Amino acid sequence: MAVLAAPFLFASEPPWALAKTNPTGKGNCALCERLKFCGKSASLRSLSCPASAAKLLDLLAVPAAEREFSALRPERRVKAGAMLPPPAPIFPRYVEAEEKA
């Protein structure tokens, strides 16, 4: 159920907008919570789609030793000030083939 709600979390309170209005408060907290959600979600999906989950965990700079289910604990989160790699696509973009006339 939480996965279905994730897009609404970003739409209702975009972290980048909150960070501009209050850079030391709610914006940073909102972004941290979303990053934590993405990391846990990727770890849980590693059994069903391991390559995609690994790409997401790479983008979140989660070390290989912390990708096991046993590492899913509250204190595991992206460290403050951590340098993350540039964003990259995880899934290929779907483009419908044009119908030839």
Q: What is the pLDDT of residues 1-28, one digit of tens each?
A: 455 565 666 666 666 676 667 666 655 6
Work out the pLDDT band at 99, boundaries 50, 70, 90.
confident
What are the tens digits of pLDDT across the range 46-69? 888 899 989 988 988 888 888 777
**26 within a domain of the structure (yes/no):** yes
Tell me whether residue 42 is in a domain.
yes
What pLDDT is recorded for position 1?
A: 46
Q: Which residue range forms the structural domain that includes residue 18?
A: 13-61
Does 27 fall in a domain?
yes
pTM here? 0.64
CB 18 within 8 A of CB 39: no
DSSP 8-state assignment for residue 70: G
Residue 19 lies in a domain: yes
Query: For the chain, how many structural domains are there in total?
Result: 1
